[in-house]
Amino acid sequence: MNAVVLLGPPGAGKGTVSEVLVGKGYTHVSTGDLLREQIRLETTLGLEAKQRMDQGKFVPDDVVVGMIRDLLQSSDANANFLFDGFPRTLVQAEKLDELIEALSGTLEEVVLLQCPDEVIVERLSGRRTCSKCGMVYHIKYNPAVQEGKCDIEGCELMQRPDDNSETIKKRLDVYKEQTAPLITYYEAKGLIHPIDAAKSIAEVRLAVLARIG
């Protein structure tokens, strides 16, 4: 197996960029989406995770690493994984290295989406999501054809519970404290490739495709 990691603060556009890479043969793995699915199914894991996610705190490393371990061990040996939102701590990064090594795989690139805080706040405040298909919109930068309705499902768009101003600030603080150190970790391995994610959606997608598409 081969893997690429999309690293960057909340709202940098990891999910938005992932959409184009899925068409290039990558298997998109978003730990945020996996956790929200557990919440939707009302599992014990999901109910515990929800409390932390709604406050902008991370879910414990062992829970997230366990989900990724299960997924990798049950996947096709030739799969190309695109990790979005994982790893987020040094412990998770080290565990991912171990899992990849155990499967004789390679971590090929870590694409770092760089974006200033004020841009992130505007993006997350204006994000809207379809609860049925998961499609992500932005009221200004990526609007639905009919305001407030999903283009695919036609149902009402929702705002994520963690996209309020207080929780966005908390998520940014947690990113700086716990995830930003991964930049140095991956720089030391020669794997980091920074991209200016403050540009338009089309420009960011092109830059990422040029790098790993």
78-108: buried (b, 16+ CB within 10 Å) or exposed (e) per residue? ebbbbbbbbbbbeebbebbeebbeeeebebe
Minimal distance, residue 75 CB to ligand AP5, in Å: 18
Q: Is 52 a catalytic residue?
A: no
* C-beta nearest to ligand AP5: residue: 32
Binding site for ligand AP5 (CB under 6 A): 8, 10-16, 30-32, 35, 52-53, 56-59, 64, 85-86, 88, 92, 123-124, 127, 136-138, 141-142, 162, 171, 200-201, 204
Helices (H), the chain: 14-22, 31-40, 44-54, 61-73, 90-102, 117-125, 165-174, 181-187, 201-212
Nearer to ligand AP5, 45 or 104 (CB): 45
- Report the DSSP beta bridge partners of residue 193: 111
Q: Is 205 a catalytic residue?
A: no
- CA 27 to the chain's CA centroid: 13
Which of the following is catalytic: 95, 127, 128, 205?
127
Residue 59 marked as a ligand binder: yes
Residue 13 marked as a ligand binder: yes
The Cα–Cα gap between 164 and 159 comes to 9
Minimal distance, residue 186 CB to ligand AP5, in Å: 15
Minimal distance, residue 16 CB to ligand AP5, in Å: 3
Q: Is 14 a catalytic residue?
A: yes
Q: Is 211 a catalytic residue?
A: no
Which residues, including other chains, have CB under 8 Å from residue 5's CB and lie 6 or more apart?
83, 86, 87, 96, 107, 109, 110, 111, 186
Minimal distance, residue 170 CB to ligand AP5, in Å: 9
Binding residues for ATP: 11-16, 127, 136-137, 199
Binding residues for AMP: 31, 36, 57-59, 85-88, 92, 160, 171
